[in-house]
Structure 1
């Protein structure tokens, strides 16, 4: 017997959304993964590095699962208190330090402190700060959310979005920003990936966890739209959206650019 709308929503509202682990969605939603395998590729770089900074680590899950051996100096930053606590519990036993930071620069680290800076799905990329804390020859390696990601969900609840909003977070803009900060872009790749939600509880959980998709989302505010979507899923099958992701790797030059005299 199918579970009711109220049962599915109540379950999704009750579950914790701390950290950046989406395993609660197993069997309830699927997201195609990028071909480059970010966590594996990140782990290979972490294992070779001497000093690593993981920006916006979330609950620390990606860093902790990337490699059996972290770098001798490994630091992670996070700004959301529940995630800070979760990342500390997960990463401290691995020898990594978790630093609570704000949502605006500067980063609380000295110039040229790290030979590798990584970040998975940063809200904002502080390119000049990344360039500052990287050692010459050091690398920034990041998987980021691309333009109009999962906008089928966003526009279902908020209606059509302006073109500027749809084109935000474009990989070409990331290239320009990296180069403006003095970094050399080594790799830039983008993919559009199929995402499916199999029940309304999965949608509720997703919007509670990824809070910038529908800012201020609550079940009470969007109950009518949620009930319509529940009926649509029952009648037509999974709600399909498309996630966009891009991978960027940028290096700080060993020799600074020559300045005209």
Structure 2
């Protein structure tokens, strides 16, 4: 699985990892469950899953592209920064760089990681209004935001400024979600449509610069990887606990041992929108 730090070499190697990291953990179901329940899920670094799950990366290389944009602006805001891993991995930050985060464990991690780099971390509920004035930033970015508040983004962008984001697309990893929740309605599967994002951005006066979409392959090799993923990405199976889904987890453990990796489809889209210079 990808961590917050996406180097270009990591992106090129993603397909190779999918074929080369299939080393199923032979420990018992109870041993794998106990380990996955205890490991920390703070931050937005998925390196614990190395060798236990794989995820193809989008071809565009979000962190590299963000770094190019960051080097050209004087002020930047990173929304829902997680543990700050993406910003910390950039070669250069804007002279004024601010990050927001709502989840307390991530706030602490981002503060420790980003403060030495001169980045202010602001605790924010991820709901409007953003705690900044109008026309405050040349660049607003966000990697995998839970919600995109387009009107607020347009408000805090300076005229000529841009919003740049990689987002989770529709029905991402829904093979795993539906394994636990059952079939989901079409409107749920169609949420996070990149074309809807385009319409919402344009509705608040932003101009579309770039919009790209890709479907990618994700594999879970053992039940511990599944549990860790669902504990960390809490909106996938809301309220997930091992106790609630133990029987289903045990069935999936047997499936993994007999049939090999559980394969799911990850969807991602890249969006860049600009606030007109005259606004």
Aligned residue runs from structure 1 range 47-126, under 5 A: 47-65=71-89, 67-126=90-149
1:248 aligns to 2:271 (yes or no)? yes
SS of residue in 2 equivalent to 1:10: helix
TM-score by length of 2: 0.90
Aligned-partner Cα distance in 2 for 1:2–1:206: 19
Aligned-partner Cα distance in 2 for 1:103–1:195: 28
Shift of 1:255: 1.8
RMSD over aligned CA atoms reads: 0.8
Aligned-partner Cα distance in 1 for 2:138–2:183: 42
Residues 101 and 126 in structure 2, CA contact (< 8 A), matched pair in contact too: no
SS of residue in 2 equivalent to 1:212: coil
Aligned-partner Cα distance in 1 for 2:253–2:118: 45
Shift of 1:227: 0.4
Shift of 1:104: 1.5
Shift of 1:70: 1.1
Shift of 1:103: 3.0
Query: In structure 1, what is the equivalent of residue 15 of structure 2?
Result: none
Query: In structure 1, what is the equivalent of residue 9 of structure 2?
Result: none
SS of residue in 1 equivalent to 2:93: coil
Aligned-partner Cα distance in 2 for 1:115–1:14: 41
Q: Note the alpha carbon deviations across 1:41-76, whole angstroms, 9 max, x for none.
A: 1111111111000000000001111x2221100000
TM-score by length of 1: 0.97
Query: In structure 2, what is the equivalent of residue 259 of structure 1?
Result: none
Residues 80 and 126 in structure 2, CA contact (< 8 A), matched pair in contact too: no
Aligned-partner Cα distance in 2 for 1:78–1:200: 30
Aligned-partner Cα distance in 2 for 1:57–1:97: 11
Moved more, 40-49 or 76-85: 40-49
Aligned-partner Cα distance in 2 for 1:171–1:69: 29
Match of 1:231 among 254, 262, 265: 254
Shift of 1:89: 0.2
SS of residue in 1 equivalent to 2:243: coil
Shift of 1:232: 0.3
Shift of 1:102: 1.2
Match of 1:26 among 50, 57, 82: 50
1:177 aligns to 2:200 (yes or no)? yes
* Runs of at least 5 residues in structure 2 that lack an aligned partner in the other structure: 1-24
Aligned-partner Cα distance in 1 for 2:267–2:182: 19
Aligned-partner Cα distance in 1 for 2:127–2:211: 25
SS of residue in 2 equivalent to 1:39: helix
Query: In structure 2, what is the equivalent of residue 138 of structure 1?
Result: 161
SS of residue in 1 equivalent to 2:44: coil
> Where do 4+ consecutive residues of structure 1 move more than 6 Å?
none
* Runs of at least 5 residues in structure 1 that lack an aligned partner in the other structure: 257-261
Match of 1:166 among 189, 194, 198: 189
SS of residue in 2 equivalent to 1:48: coil
